[in-house]
Amino acid sequence: MSGVERRRVWSDDQKRALVMAVSQPGANVAEIAREADLRPGQIYRWRRQMFGDANGFAAVAVKPDPAPPTGPAVVVELGSITVRIAADTPPDLAAAVLRSLRR
């Protein structure tokens, strides 16, 4: 830029394209921001503005299991919470689920 520096104006389509790019699996926000010549925080701000994502978490609705799995599974009961972990569940996922119950 020459002369007086001015803020760049991003169109809604440009903002949406960048937000969608960082939402792809394996996307690197810092790399995408660097390529667009802006800071990662700006992309996060646009995402909050677009999706109303105030706390960074998606809404989750927990419903009773309509049909329990029929195959082999580990059943963990903690008070009123019952978790069924299918035998073919990756160990890392099963461990993460069980760790989250401690909180």
3-state secondary structure 13-72: HHHHHHHHHHCCCCCCHHHHHHHCCCCHHHHHHHHHHHHCCCCCCCCCCCCCCCCCCCCC
**Taking the domains of the chain in order of start, what are their residue ranges?**
1-60, 62-103
- Position 73 scores a pLDDT of 84
DSSP state of 4: S
pLDDT tens per residue across all 103 residues of the chain: 555 667 788 999 999 999 999 988 889 999 999 999 999 999 999 988 887 755 556 666 777 766 666 788 888 888 788 888 888 888 898 888 888 877 6
Q: What is the reported pTM?
A: 0.48
DSSP state of 85: E
CATH entry 1.10.150 includes domain 1-60: no
